[in-house]
Structure 1
């Protein structure tokens, strides 16, 4: 029986996860990565993205915004849970 922990995440799922990831720190803490302002992502690009999953997700969102794909991905944002 295959171990489910060994399964690779599809590129599509990685993109959906990245756009819905919540920024865990900083000025924009609590915002989804797709909602981060482009200048903030440009700053990260210049300074260096963290060397972890969040860094890879930030780099992906930077590329999305750089290439003007943000509008196409907005429908994939998950709705916020009611408080």
Structure 2
């Protein structure tokens, strides 16, 4: 896990599915759990979903708040 990957979680949106258009950091835990049980998609989106699953599963979502704030201030 590195800073750039964490920044992508608060800027990249889900490209398809039920939660299309929602930030990856805002995806609900049950949706991330479903991917974990079924298998994450290939490529970058799969790696980011797996990272978000780990963050959510371990109760670490507050770590993303400073990045969210920083991105909001940049707009």
TM-score, length-normalised on structure 1?
0.76
Compare CA radii of gyration and give the structure with the larger one. 1
Segment of structure 1 superposing worse, 22-31 or 10-19: 10-19
Partner of residue 32, structure 2: 41
The answer to whether structure 1 residue 13 and structure 2 residue 13 are counterparts is: no
RMSD: 1.7
Aligned pairs, number = 71
Partner of residue 50, structure 1: 41
1:72 to 63, 66, 69: 63
**2-structure distance, mates of 1:11, 1:29:** 25
Question: Secondary structure at 1:20's aligned position in 2?
Answer: coil
5+ residue gaps in structure 1? 1-9
**1-structure distance, mates of 2:25, 2:8:** 10
